[in-house]
A and B are shown apart, each in its own frame.
Chain A
Amino acid sequence: MAKYLLLKHYRGEKTNEFHTPGDQWTPAEWDAHIQYMRDFADRLRSRGEFVSGDALAMDGVWVRYDGPGKPPVTDGPFAETKDLIAGWMIIDVDSYDRALELAAELSAAPGAGGEPIREWLELRPVMEEPPATSV
Protein backbone atom coordinates (compact mmCIF):
# COMPACT_ATOMS: atom_id res chain seq x y z
CA MET A 1 0.00 0.00 0.00
CA ALA A 2 1.09 3.53 -0.66
CA LYS A 3 -0.39 6.85 0.30
CA TYR A 4 -0.81 9.62 -2.23
CA LEU A 5 -1.85 13.23 -1.89
CA LEU A 6 -4.29 14.51 -4.50
CA LEU A 7 -4.11 18.29 -4.78
CA LYS A 8 -6.85 20.28 -6.41
CA HIS A 9 -5.62 23.63 -7.61
CA TYR A 10 -7.54 26.78 -8.28
CA ARG A 11 -6.00 28.58 -11.22
CA GLY A 12 -8.50 31.27 -12.02
CA GLU A 13 -9.48 31.30 -15.68
CA LYS A 14 -6.51 29.18 -16.75
CA THR A 15 -7.78 25.76 -15.70
CA ASN A 16 -7.72 24.16 -19.15
CA GLU A 17 -9.12 24.36 -22.66
CA PHE A 18 -12.14 22.14 -21.89
CA HIS A 19 -13.24 24.07 -18.84
CA THR A 20 -15.99 26.64 -18.72
CA PRO A 21 -15.32 28.78 -15.62
CA GLY A 22 -17.48 27.79 -12.68
CA ASP A 23 -19.25 31.14 -12.45
CA GLN A 24 -20.86 30.40 -15.80
CA TRP A 25 -22.39 27.07 -14.72
CA THR A 26 -26.07 26.65 -13.87
CA PRO A 27 -27.10 25.82 -10.28
CA ALA A 28 -28.05 22.31 -11.45
CA GLU A 29 -24.59 21.85 -12.97
CA TRP A 30 -23.04 22.93 -9.66
CA ASP A 31 -25.23 20.46 -7.77
CA ALA A 32 -24.17 17.66 -10.10
CA HIS A 33 -20.52 18.62 -9.66
CA ILE A 34 -20.72 18.62 -5.85
CA GLN A 35 -22.65 15.35 -5.83
CA TYR A 36 -19.97 13.75 -8.01
CA MET A 37 -17.24 14.79 -5.56
CA ARG A 38 -19.24 13.41 -2.61
CA ASP A 39 -19.93 10.14 -4.41
CA PHE A 40 -16.25 9.84 -5.30
CA ALA A 41 -15.24 10.18 -1.64
CA ASP A 42 -17.94 7.68 -0.62
CA ARG A 43 -16.67 5.17 -3.17
CA LEU A 44 -13.16 5.56 -1.79
CA ARG A 45 -14.44 4.98 1.74
CA SER A 46 -16.37 1.88 0.77
CA ARG A 47 -13.32 0.44 -0.99
CA GLY A 48 -11.07 1.10 2.01
CA GLU A 49 -8.91 3.58 0.10
CA PHE A 50 -9.80 6.85 1.83
CA VAL A 51 -7.53 8.46 4.40
CA SER A 52 -8.57 12.11 4.67
CA GLY A 53 -9.45 15.21 2.72
CA ASP A 54 -10.66 18.77 3.02
CA ALA A 55 -11.47 21.81 0.95
CA LEU A 56 -9.47 24.93 1.76
CA ALA A 57 -10.71 28.51 2.10
CA MET A 58 -9.21 30.81 -0.52
CA ASP A 59 -8.12 33.76 1.64
CA GLY A 60 -4.67 32.40 2.52
CA VAL A 61 -1.45 34.33 3.00
CA TRP A 62 2.28 33.55 2.90
CA VAL A 63 3.97 33.86 6.29
CA ARG A 64 7.59 33.86 7.40
CA TYR A 65 9.78 34.53 10.41
CA ASP A 66 11.40 37.99 10.28
CA GLY A 67 14.00 37.90 13.06
CA PRO A 68 13.98 37.99 16.88
CA GLY A 69 11.30 40.15 18.52
CA LYS A 70 9.67 41.03 15.21
CA PRO A 71 6.14 40.03 14.21
CA PRO A 72 5.77 37.47 11.41
CA VAL A 73 5.83 38.92 7.92
CA THR A 74 2.85 38.17 5.74
CA ASP A 75 2.25 38.49 2.03
CA GLY A 76 -1.21 38.28 0.51
CA PRO A 77 -4.11 37.70 0.25
CA PHE A 78 -3.67 36.86 -3.39
CA ALA A 79 -5.47 37.83 -6.51
CA GLU A 80 -7.67 35.00 -7.77
CA THR A 81 -5.53 34.59 -10.87
CA LYS A 82 -2.75 33.02 -8.82
CA ASP A 83 -2.38 29.26 -8.48
CA LEU A 84 -3.97 28.35 -5.15
CA ILE A 85 -4.57 24.96 -3.56
CA ALA A 86 -8.32 24.56 -3.37
CA GLY A 87 -8.45 21.20 -1.63
CA TRP A 88 -6.65 17.99 -0.92
CA MET A 89 -7.32 14.32 -0.39
CA ILE A 90 -5.07 11.53 0.85
CA ILE A 91 -5.71 8.07 -0.54
CA ASP A 92 -4.12 4.74 0.41
CA VAL A 93 -3.95 2.44 -2.60
CA ASP A 94 -2.30 -0.71 -3.91
CA SER A 95 -0.30 0.85 -6.71
CA TYR A 96 0.75 3.97 -8.55
CA ASP A 97 -1.51 2.94 -11.44
CA ARG A 98 -4.47 2.79 -9.08
CA ALA A 99 -3.65 6.31 -7.85
CA LEU A 100 -3.57 7.58 -11.44
CA GLU A 101 -6.89 5.89 -12.15
CA LEU A 102 -8.52 7.54 -9.13
CA ALA A 103 -7.07 10.96 -9.96
CA ALA A 104 -8.50 10.64 -13.47
CA GLU A 105 -11.86 9.65 -12.00
CA LEU A 106 -11.87 12.79 -9.85
CA SER A 107 -10.77 14.93 -12.78
CA ALA A 108 -13.80 13.67 -14.71
CA ALA A 109 -16.19 15.55 -12.37
CA PRO A 110 -18.93 17.14 -14.49
CA GLY A 111 -19.05 20.87 -15.22
CA ALA A 112 -20.92 22.90 -17.83
CA GLY A 113 -23.32 20.76 -19.89
CA GLY A 114 -22.54 17.77 -17.68
CA GLU A 115 -19.24 17.30 -19.54
CA PRO A 116 -16.14 16.18 -17.57
CA ILE A 117 -14.12 19.27 -16.63
CA ARG A 118 -10.82 17.39 -17.16
CA GLU A 119 -9.07 19.59 -14.62
CA TRP A 120 -5.40 18.96 -13.85
CA LEU A 121 -4.89 17.40 -10.43
CA GLU A 122 -1.51 17.13 -8.77
CA LEU A 123 -0.61 13.64 -7.53
CA ARG A 124 2.21 13.33 -4.99
CA PRO A 125 3.44 10.19 -3.18
CA VAL A 126 3.53 10.49 0.62
CA MET A 127 6.91 9.49 2.10
CA GLU A 128 7.01 5.97 3.53
CA GLU A 129 9.11 4.10 6.04
CA PRO A 130 12.19 2.50 4.46
CA PRO A 131 11.60 -1.26 4.05
CA ALA A 132 12.91 -3.38 6.93
CA THR A 133 15.09 -5.44 4.59
CA SER A 134 16.83 -2.45 2.98
CA VAL A 135 19.56 -1.64 5.53
Chain B
Amino acid sequence: MDSVSLREHIPGVVGILVRRGADFASAEDAVQAALIRALETWPSDPPDDPKGWLVTAAWRKFIDQVRSDSARTAREEHFVLEPTPDQLPDQDDELWLYFHCAHPSLTPSSAIALTLRAVAGLTTRQIADAYLVPEATMAQRISRAKQRLEGTPLDQPGDVTTVLRTLYLLFNEGYSGDIDLAAEAIRLTRQIATLRDEPEVHGLLALMLLHHARRAARVAPTGRLIPLAEQNRSLWNTAAITEGVEILQNALARDQLGEYQAQAAIAALHADAQTSSETDWPQIVEWYDELLAFNASDVVRLNRAVAIGEAMGAAAGLAALADVDPATPRYEAVSAYLHERSGNLALAAGEYASAARRATSEAERDHLNRQAARLRSIAN
Protein backbone atom coordinates (compact mmCIF):
# COMPACT_ATOMS: atom_id res chain seq x y z
CA MET B 1 0.00 0.00 0.00
CA ASP B 2 1.42 3.39 -0.95
CA SER B 3 1.33 6.32 1.42
CA VAL B 4 -1.46 8.16 -0.44
CA SER B 5 -3.92 5.28 -0.15
CA LEU B 6 -2.84 4.85 3.48
CA ARG B 7 -3.56 8.52 4.13
CA GLU B 8 -7.03 8.26 2.60
CA HIS B 9 -8.11 6.38 5.74
CA ILE B 10 -6.95 9.13 8.11
CA PRO B 11 -10.05 11.39 8.22
CA GLY B 12 -12.32 8.42 8.88
CA VAL B 13 -10.07 7.09 11.64
CA VAL B 14 -9.89 10.47 13.42
CA GLY B 15 -13.68 10.70 13.13
CA ILE B 16 -14.17 7.25 14.69
CA LEU B 17 -11.93 8.09 17.66
CA VAL B 18 -13.79 11.33 18.25
CA ARG B 19 -17.13 9.53 17.99
CA ARG B 20 -15.89 7.07 20.61
CA GLY B 21 -15.30 10.00 22.93
CA ALA B 22 -11.70 11.10 22.40
CA ASP B 23 -11.16 14.85 22.30
CA PHE B 24 -10.10 16.06 18.87
CA ALA B 25 -6.54 17.10 19.80
CA SER B 26 -5.70 13.75 21.46
CA ALA B 27 -7.44 11.75 18.74
CA GLU B 28 -5.43 13.54 16.07
CA ASP B 29 -2.15 12.95 17.95
CA ALA B 30 -3.00 9.27 18.39
CA VAL B 31 -3.83 8.82 14.71
CA GLN B 32 -0.62 10.57 13.70
CA ALA B 33 1.34 8.16 15.94
CA ALA B 34 -0.50 5.18 14.42
CA LEU B 35 0.20 6.50 10.94
CA ILE B 36 3.92 6.72 11.59
CA ARG B 37 3.85 3.18 13.02
CA ALA B 38 2.00 2.00 9.91
CA LEU B 39 4.58 3.56 7.61
CA GLU B 40 7.27 1.62 9.51
CA THR B 41 5.61 -1.78 9.76
CA TRP B 42 3.26 -2.17 6.82
CA PRO B 43 5.91 -2.60 4.11
CA SER B 44 7.04 -5.87 5.76
CA ASP B 45 3.74 -6.82 7.44
CA PRO B 46 0.71 -5.43 5.57
CA PRO B 47 -2.62 -5.74 7.42
CA ASP B 48 -5.73 -7.36 5.87
CA ASP B 49 -7.93 -4.49 7.02
CA PRO B 50 -5.87 -1.26 6.88
CA LYS B 51 -8.56 1.00 8.33
CA GLY B 52 -9.38 -1.44 11.15
CA TRP B 53 -5.66 -1.72 11.93
CA LEU B 54 -5.35 2.07 12.11
CA VAL B 55 -8.42 2.42 14.35
CA THR B 56 -7.13 -0.25 16.76
CA ALA B 57 -3.59 1.15 16.83
CA ALA B 58 -4.76 4.75 17.24
CA TRP B 59 -7.27 3.86 19.95
CA ARG B 60 -4.53 2.02 21.88
CA LYS B 61 -2.25 5.05 21.56
CA PHE B 62 -5.04 7.24 22.83
CA ILE B 63 -5.76 5.01 25.86
CA ASP B 64 -2.02 4.77 26.65
CA GLN B 65 -1.73 8.51 26.44
CA VAL B 66 -4.70 9.13 28.75
CA ARG B 67 -3.46 6.58 31.31
CA SER B 68 0.15 7.77 31.28
CA ASP B 69 -0.67 11.44 31.53
CA SER B 70 -1.50 12.07 35.17
CA ALA B 71 -2.37 15.67 34.35
CA ARG B 72 -5.35 14.51 32.37
CA THR B 73 -8.66 15.61 33.68
CA ALA B 74 -11.20 13.27 35.17
CA ARG B 75 -13.46 14.24 32.30
CA GLU B 76 -11.28 12.46 29.78
CA GLU B 77 -10.97 9.37 32.01
CA HIS B 78 -14.72 9.33 32.01
CA PHE B 79 -14.78 9.28 28.21
CA VAL B 80 -12.37 6.36 28.05
CA LEU B 81 -14.28 4.32 30.55
CA GLU B 82 -17.63 5.20 29.10
CA PRO B 83 -17.44 5.87 25.38
CA THR B 84 -20.27 8.05 24.12
CA PRO B 85 -20.93 6.67 20.66
CA ASP B 86 -23.68 9.13 19.86
CA GLN B 87 -21.61 12.27 20.09
CA LEU B 88 -21.76 12.73 16.34
CA PRO B 89 -25.24 11.43 15.69
CA ASP B 90 -25.97 12.36 12.10
CA GLN B 91 -22.71 13.57 10.65
CA ASP B 92 -20.41 11.61 8.52
CA ASP B 93 -17.14 11.12 10.42
CA GLU B 94 -14.99 12.41 7.59
CA LEU B 95 -17.09 15.39 6.63
CA TRP B 96 -17.15 16.64 10.20
CA LEU B 97 -13.33 16.66 10.26
CA TYR B 98 -13.08 18.93 7.20
CA PHE B 99 -15.30 21.50 8.83
CA HIS B 100 -13.56 21.29 12.17
CA CYS B 101 -10.09 21.82 10.68
CA ALA B 102 -11.28 24.78 8.57
CA HIS B 103 -13.17 26.31 11.48
CA PRO B 104 -13.74 30.09 11.06
CA SER B 105 -12.04 30.77 14.40
CA LEU B 106 -8.70 29.65 12.88
CA THR B 107 -6.45 31.85 10.77
CA PRO B 108 -6.11 30.62 7.18
CA SER B 109 -2.57 29.36 7.77
CA SER B 110 -3.60 27.45 10.91
CA ALA B 111 -6.58 25.94 9.10
CA ILE B 112 -4.34 24.83 6.22
CA ALA B 113 -1.71 23.33 8.53
CA LEU B 114 -4.31 21.45 10.56
CA THR B 115 -6.11 20.23 7.44
CA LEU B 116 -2.85 18.92 6.00
CA ARG B 117 -2.13 16.98 9.17
CA ALA B 118 -5.51 15.81 10.43
CA VAL B 119 -7.36 15.38 7.12
CA ALA B 120 -4.59 14.75 4.59
CA GLY B 121 -2.56 12.68 7.07
CA LEU B 122 0.78 14.33 6.35
CA THR B 123 3.41 14.31 9.07
CA THR B 124 4.43 17.57 10.72
CA ARG B 125 7.86 17.24 9.11
CA GLN B 126 6.37 16.90 5.63
CA ILE B 127 4.20 19.98 6.15
CA ALA B 128 7.15 21.95 7.57
CA ASP B 129 9.29 20.96 4.56
CA ALA B 130 6.55 22.03 2.15
CA TYR B 131 6.37 25.46 3.79
CA LEU B 132 10.12 25.80 4.33
CA VAL B 133 9.85 26.38 8.06
CA PRO B 134 11.45 24.45 10.96
CA GLU B 135 9.54 21.37 12.10
CA ALA B 136 9.24 22.87 15.62
CA THR B 137 7.55 25.95 14.17
CA MET B 138 5.00 23.87 12.26
CA ALA B 139 4.42 21.67 15.34
CA GLN B 140 3.61 24.79 17.37
CA ARG B 141 1.31 26.13 14.66
CA ILE B 142 -0.65 22.87 14.62
CA SER B 143 -0.73 22.59 18.39
CA ARG B 144 -1.98 26.18 18.78
CA ALA B 145 -4.67 25.58 16.19
CA LYS B 146 -5.87 22.57 18.19
CA GLN B 147 -5.81 24.60 21.42
CA ARG B 148 -7.89 27.25 19.72
CA LEU B 149 -10.50 24.63 18.82
CA GLU B 150 -10.74 23.27 22.35
CA GLY B 151 -14.32 23.44 23.51
CA THR B 152 -15.63 24.01 19.98
CA PRO B 153 -18.73 21.83 19.52
CA LEU B 154 -17.98 18.79 17.38
CA ASP B 155 -21.37 18.54 15.75
CA GLN B 156 -21.58 21.56 13.48
CA PRO B 157 -20.67 20.99 9.85
CA GLY B 158 -21.73 24.55 9.01
CA ASP B 159 -20.98 26.44 5.84
CA VAL B 160 -18.96 24.55 3.24
CA THR B 161 -17.52 27.89 2.05
CA THR B 162 -14.86 27.93 4.79
CA VAL B 163 -13.67 24.46 3.80
CA LEU B 164 -13.53 25.38 0.10
CA ARG B 165 -11.64 28.60 0.89
CA THR B 166 -9.04 26.64 2.85
CA LEU B 167 -8.59 24.14 0.01
CA TYR B 168 -8.40 26.95 -2.57
CA LEU B 169 -5.65 28.68 -0.59
CA LEU B 170 -3.82 25.39 -0.18
CA PHE B 171 -3.99 24.79 -3.95
CA ASN B 172 -2.50 28.21 -4.59
CA GLU B 173 0.48 27.78 -2.27
CA GLY B 174 2.86 26.30 -4.80
CA TYR B 175 5.00 23.25 -5.07
CA SER B 176 8.10 23.32 -2.90
CA GLY B 177 9.39 20.24 -1.12
CA ASP B 178 8.59 16.58 -1.68
CA ILE B 179 4.90 17.03 -1.02
CA ASP B 180 2.87 18.42 -3.89
CA LEU B 181 0.45 20.76 -2.11
CA ALA B 182 -1.61 21.39 -5.25
CA ALA B 183 -2.08 17.64 -5.73
CA GLU B 184 -3.03 17.31 -2.05
CA ALA B 185 -5.59 20.09 -2.47
CA ILE B 186 -7.08 18.28 -5.48
CA ARG B 187 -7.17 14.98 -3.59
CA LEU B 188 -8.97 16.55 -0.61
CA THR B 189 -11.41 18.47 -2.82
CA ARG B 190 -12.16 15.25 -4.70
CA GLN B 191 -12.84 13.56 -1.37
CA ILE B 192 -15.17 16.28 -0.12
CA ALA B 193 -16.99 16.27 -3.48
CA THR B 194 -18.01 12.68 -2.72
CA LEU B 195 -19.24 13.74 0.74
CA ARG B 196 -20.92 17.04 -0.03
CA ASP B 197 -22.71 17.19 -3.37
CA GLU B 198 -22.90 20.97 -3.95
CA PRO B 199 -22.21 22.76 -7.27
CA GLU B 200 -19.53 25.01 -5.78
CA VAL B 201 -17.61 22.01 -4.41
CA HIS B 202 -17.54 20.56 -7.92
CA GLY B 203 -16.76 24.02 -9.30
CA LEU B 204 -13.66 24.25 -7.13
CA LEU B 205 -12.55 20.74 -8.12
CA ALA B 206 -12.98 21.65 -11.82
CA LEU B 207 -11.06 24.90 -11.29
CA MET B 208 -8.15 23.06 -9.69
CA LEU B 209 -8.05 20.34 -12.35
CA LEU B 210 -8.12 22.87 -15.19
CA HIS B 211 -5.26 24.93 -13.73
CA HIS B 212 -3.27 21.88 -12.70
CA ALA B 213 -3.58 20.57 -16.27
CA ARG B 214 -1.44 23.48 -17.50
CA ARG B 215 1.24 23.01 -14.88
CA ALA B 216 3.89 21.34 -17.07
CA ALA B 217 3.62 24.20 -19.56
CA ARG B 218 3.72 27.06 -17.05
CA VAL B 219 7.40 26.95 -16.20
CA ALA B 220 10.38 26.32 -18.50
CA PRO B 221 13.06 23.81 -17.41
CA THR B 222 15.16 26.85 -16.49
CA GLY B 223 12.46 27.99 -14.05
CA ARG B 224 11.29 30.77 -16.35
CA LEU B 225 7.57 31.59 -16.16
CA ILE B 226 5.76 31.08 -19.47
CA PRO B 227 2.63 33.21 -19.99
CA LEU B 228 -0.55 31.48 -21.10
CA ALA B 229 -0.38 32.80 -24.66
CA GLU B 230 3.12 31.36 -25.18
CA GLN B 231 2.59 27.98 -23.50
CA ASN B 232 3.18 24.80 -25.48
CA ARG B 233 -0.37 23.51 -25.40
CA SER B 234 0.68 19.97 -26.27
CA LEU B 235 2.11 19.85 -22.73
CA TRP B 236 -1.33 20.43 -21.23
CA ASN B 237 -2.82 17.39 -19.52
CA THR B 238 -5.83 16.61 -21.72
CA ALA B 239 -7.23 13.96 -19.35
CA ALA B 240 -7.36 16.49 -16.51
CA ILE B 241 -8.92 19.09 -18.84
CA THR B 242 -11.58 16.64 -20.01
CA GLU B 243 -12.40 15.68 -16.44
CA GLY B 244 -12.47 19.31 -15.29
CA VAL B 245 -14.76 20.39 -18.14
CA GLU B 246 -17.14 17.50 -17.53
CA ILE B 247 -17.34 18.20 -13.78
CA LEU B 248 -17.91 21.88 -14.51
CA GLN B 249 -20.68 21.23 -17.05
CA ASN B 250 -22.55 19.02 -14.58
CA ALA B 251 -22.19 21.67 -11.88
CA LEU B 252 -23.34 24.51 -14.16
CA ALA B 253 -26.35 22.47 -15.26
CA ARG B 254 -27.69 22.70 -11.71
CA ASP B 255 -28.06 26.45 -12.14
CA GLN B 256 -26.60 27.52 -8.80
CA LEU B 257 -23.70 29.60 -10.02
CA GLY B 258 -20.93 30.60 -7.63
CA GLU B 259 -17.45 32.08 -7.61
CA TYR B 260 -15.54 28.85 -8.17
CA GLN B 261 -17.76 27.73 -11.04
CA ALA B 262 -17.30 31.12 -12.72
CA GLN B 263 -13.51 30.93 -12.30
CA ALA B 264 -13.53 27.36 -13.59
CA ALA B 265 -15.56 28.45 -16.63
CA ILE B 266 -12.86 30.99 -17.50
CA ALA B 267 -10.14 28.35 -17.08
CA ALA B 268 -12.19 25.96 -19.24
CA LEU B 269 -12.46 28.51 -22.06
CA HIS B 270 -8.66 28.88 -22.04
CA ALA B 271 -8.22 25.12 -21.98
CA ASP B 272 -10.65 24.75 -24.88
CA ALA B 273 -8.58 26.86 -27.29
CA GLN B 274 -6.19 24.87 -29.48
CA THR B 275 -4.08 28.00 -29.96
CA SER B 276 -3.97 31.25 -28.07
CA SER B 277 -5.61 33.10 -30.99
CA GLU B 278 -8.63 30.78 -30.90
CA THR B 279 -9.47 31.82 -27.34
CA ASP B 280 -13.11 32.90 -27.00
CA TRP B 281 -12.36 36.22 -25.28
CA PRO B 282 -15.88 37.70 -25.59
CA GLN B 283 -17.24 34.77 -23.61
CA ILE B 284 -14.41 35.10 -21.07
CA VAL B 285 -15.43 38.74 -20.56
CA GLU B 286 -19.00 37.57 -19.90
CA TRP B 287 -17.74 35.15 -17.26
CA TYR B 288 -15.71 37.91 -15.61
CA ASP B 289 -18.94 39.92 -15.42
CA GLU B 290 -20.59 36.93 -13.70
CA LEU B 291 -17.60 36.60 -11.37
CA LEU B 292 -17.84 40.27 -10.41
CA ALA B 293 -21.33 39.60 -9.06
CA PHE B 294 -19.82 37.18 -6.51
CA ASN B 295 -16.48 38.87 -5.92
CA ALA B 296 -16.40 42.56 -6.83
CA SER B 297 -12.66 42.89 -6.15
CA ASP B 298 -10.03 44.90 -7.96
CA VAL B 299 -8.17 41.67 -8.75
CA VAL B 300 -11.20 40.43 -10.73
CA ARG B 301 -11.62 43.83 -12.41
CA LEU B 302 -7.94 43.78 -13.37
CA ASN B 303 -8.23 40.38 -15.04
CA ARG B 304 -11.43 41.51 -16.72
CA ALA B 305 -9.56 44.47 -18.21
CA VAL B 306 -7.07 42.02 -19.79
CA ALA B 307 -9.94 40.00 -21.25
CA ILE B 308 -11.62 43.15 -22.60
CA GLY B 309 -8.31 44.18 -24.16
CA GLU B 310 -8.17 40.84 -25.97
CA ALA B 311 -11.84 40.84 -26.98
CA MET B 312 -12.27 44.48 -27.99
CA GLY B 313 -8.81 45.94 -28.42
CA ALA B 314 -6.19 47.55 -26.22
CA ALA B 315 -8.00 50.91 -26.01
CA ALA B 316 -11.10 49.23 -24.54
CA GLY B 317 -8.85 47.31 -22.14
CA LEU B 318 -7.18 50.52 -20.99
CA ALA B 319 -10.60 52.11 -20.51
CA ALA B 320 -11.64 49.17 -18.31
CA LEU B 321 -8.35 49.50 -16.42
CA ALA B 322 -9.32 53.04 -15.43
CA ASP B 323 -11.84 51.51 -13.00
CA VAL B 324 -9.18 49.48 -11.19
CA ASP B 325 -7.27 50.69 -8.13
CA PRO B 326 -3.65 51.25 -9.27
CA ALA B 327 -2.44 49.75 -5.97
CA THR B 328 -3.81 46.33 -7.02
CA PRO B 329 -1.05 43.72 -7.37
CA ARG B 330 -0.02 43.27 -11.06
CA TYR B 331 -1.78 46.49 -12.10
CA GLU B 332 1.37 47.88 -13.73
CA ALA B 333 2.08 44.61 -15.52
CA VAL B 334 -1.40 44.67 -17.05
CA SER B 335 -1.08 48.34 -17.93
CA ALA B 336 2.28 47.62 -19.58
CA TYR B 337 0.77 44.78 -21.61
CA LEU B 338 -2.16 46.90 -22.81
CA HIS B 339 0.11 49.83 -23.65
CA GLU B 340 2.40 47.51 -25.60
CA ARG B 341 -0.60 46.25 -27.56
CA SER B 342 -1.67 49.80 -28.28
CA GLY B 343 1.79 50.54 -29.69
CA ASN B 344 3.15 52.68 -26.87
CA LEU B 345 6.34 50.66 -26.42
CA ALA B 346 8.38 53.20 -24.45
CA LEU B 347 5.65 53.63 -21.84
CA ALA B 348 5.10 49.87 -21.72
CA ALA B 349 8.83 49.17 -21.17
CA GLY B 350 8.91 51.59 -18.24
CA GLU B 351 5.81 50.03 -16.72
CA TYR B 352 7.20 46.50 -17.08
CA ALA B 353 10.38 47.59 -15.29
CA SER B 354 8.34 49.26 -12.57
CA ALA B 355 6.11 46.18 -12.23
CA ALA B 356 9.24 44.03 -11.84
CA ARG B 357 10.30 46.11 -8.85
CA ARG B 358 6.95 45.38 -7.19
CA ALA B 359 6.81 41.67 -8.06
CA THR B 360 6.31 39.26 -5.17
CA SER B 361 7.83 36.19 -6.81
CA GLU B 362 11.22 35.71 -8.44
CA ALA B 363 9.74 34.02 -11.49
CA GLU B 364 7.38 36.91 -12.05
CA ARG B 365 10.06 39.54 -11.46
CA ASP B 366 12.39 37.89 -13.97
CA HIS B 367 9.56 37.57 -16.49
CA LEU B 368 8.70 41.27 -16.19
CA ASN B 369 12.34 42.33 -16.47
CA ARG B 370 12.65 40.27 -19.66
CA GLN B 371 9.54 41.97 -21.04
CA ALA B 372 11.02 45.39 -20.34
CA ALA B 373 14.32 44.35 -21.92
CA ARG B 374 12.53 42.95 -24.98
CA LEU B 375 10.64 46.19 -25.60
CA ARG B 376 13.75 48.32 -25.08
CA SER B 377 15.73 46.21 -27.54
CA ILE B 378 12.94 46.71 -30.12
CA ALA B 379 12.92 50.45 -29.52
CA ASN B 380 16.71 50.77 -29.89
Give me the interface of A with B, judged by CB distance under 8 Å. 1, 3, 45-52, 92, 94, 125, 127-133, 135
Contacts and interface: CB of A to CB of B under 8 A. Distances in A.
A52 to B, nearest CB: 7
Contacts of A128: 174, 360-361
Those 6 A-B pairs whose CB atoms lie nearest each other, nearest first: A48-B141, A129-B174, A48-B140, A131-B172, A1-B109, A130-B361
B137 A48 contact: yes
Nearest to B109: A1
Given A47-B140, A50-B137, A130-B174, 13 more contacts: A1-B108, A1-B131, A46-B140, A48-B139, A48-B140, A49-B137, A94-B109, A125-B360, A128-B360, A130-B364, A133-B171, A133-B207, A133-B267
B8 to A, nearest CB: 23
Contacts of B246: none
A15 to B, nearest CB: 28
A108 to B, nearest CB: 23
Contacts of A133: 171-172, 207, 211, 263, 267
Contacts of A127: 359-362, 365
B148 to A, nearest CB: 11
Contacts of B144: 46-48
B214 interface: yes
B159 to A, nearest CB: 21
A92 B361 contact: no
B166 to A, nearest CB: 13
Contacts of A92: 131, 133, 137
Given A132-B171, A132-B172, A135-B214, A94 B107 contact: yes
Contacts of A129: 173-176, 361, 363
12 contacts: A1-B112, A1-B173, A48-B113, A48-B141, A48-B142, A51-B133, A94-B107, A127-B359, A129-B361, A132-B182, A133-B207, A135-B227
Contacts, number: 85
A45 B172 contact: no
Interface in B221-241: 225-228
Nearest to B143: A48
Contacts of B85: none
Interface string B176-192: 10000010000000000
Tell me which of B137, B211, B214 has the highest count of chain A C-beta atoms within 10 A of its own C-beta: B137
B4 interface: no
Contacts of A1: 108-109, 112, 131, 173
Contacts of A47: 140-141, 144
A92 B138 CA distance: 10
B367 to A, nearest CB: 9
Nearest to B145: A48
A135 B131 contact: no
B9 interface: no
Given A94-B108, A133-B263, A45 B137 contact: yes
A135 B171 contact: no
B61 interface: no
B339 interface: no
A135 B227 CA distance: 6
Given A46-B140, A128-B361, A129-B173, A52 B134 contact: yes
Tell me which of A1, A45, A128, A135 has the highest count of chain B C-beta atoms within 10 A of its own C-beta: A135
A61 B171 CA distance: 43
B100 interface: no
A125 B359 CA distance: 10
Contacts of B360: 125, 127-128
A12 to B, nearest CB: 29
Contact of A51 (B110, B134, B361, B363): B134
B368 to A, nearest CB: 11
A132 B208 CA distance: 9
